[in-house]
């Protein structure tokens, strides 16, 4: 494979996740948009809310690994080479970051709506 074709990645993820792929993509886009608007509205980060969101992100990383194990044919016991372990780390990291952003956004918007 000499070129990286985004459509190949899309086809592989579509095969692995099925309709869940589109749900995850929409959830990620909505979370990023909500986070960006919240940052602009509050003009900064709330450290207390960020720490709570990061703690929730740890569990989100584990949930991403469980989701990946559920939708793939191989399990974690099949991981043998360094690339396999790198992929497991990347899946956990994406789950951590995504959950942190989503939890921070939901907590921030909830706090803003309670004030009104």
Contact 60, 100 (CB under 8 A): yes
Confidence at residue 4, expressed as pLDDT on a 0 to 100 scale: 76
What are the pLDDT digits (tens) for 7-65? 887 887 788 778 888 998 899 899 999 999 999 999 999 999 999 999 999 999 999 98
Whose tokens are 């909500």? That residue is 34
Confidence at residue 55, expressed as pLDDT on a 0 to 100 scale: 96
Confidence at residue 69, expressed as pLDDT on a 0 to 100 scale: 82
Contact 55, 107 (CB under 8 A): no
Instruction: Sketch the domain layout of the chain as residue ranges.
Output: 6-115
Q: CA 22 → CA 15, 90, 114, distances in Å?
A: 12, 20, 31
CA–CA gap between residue 70 and residue 110 (Å, rounded):
32
Q: Which of 54, 67, 68 is nearest to 98 (CA)?
A: 54
Confidence at residue 52, expressed as pLDDT on a 0 to 100 scale: 96
pLDDT band at 1 (very low <50, low <70, confident <90, very high): low
């Amino acid at each position: 494979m000499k070129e990286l074709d985004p459509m190949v990645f899309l086809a592989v993820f579509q095969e692995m996740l099925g309709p869940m792929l589109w749900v995850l993509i929409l959830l990620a886009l909505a979370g990023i948009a909500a986070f960006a608007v919240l940052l602009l509205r509050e003009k900064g980060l709330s450290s207390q809310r960020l720490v709570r969101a990061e703690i929730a992100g740890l569990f989100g990383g584990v949930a991403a690994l469980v989701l990946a194990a559920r939708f793939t044919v191989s399990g974690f016991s099949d991981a043998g080479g360094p690339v396999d372990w790198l992929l497991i780390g990347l899946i956990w990291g994406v789950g951590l970051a995504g959950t942190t952003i989503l939890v921070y956004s939901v907590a921030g918007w909830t706090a803003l709506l309670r004030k009104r």
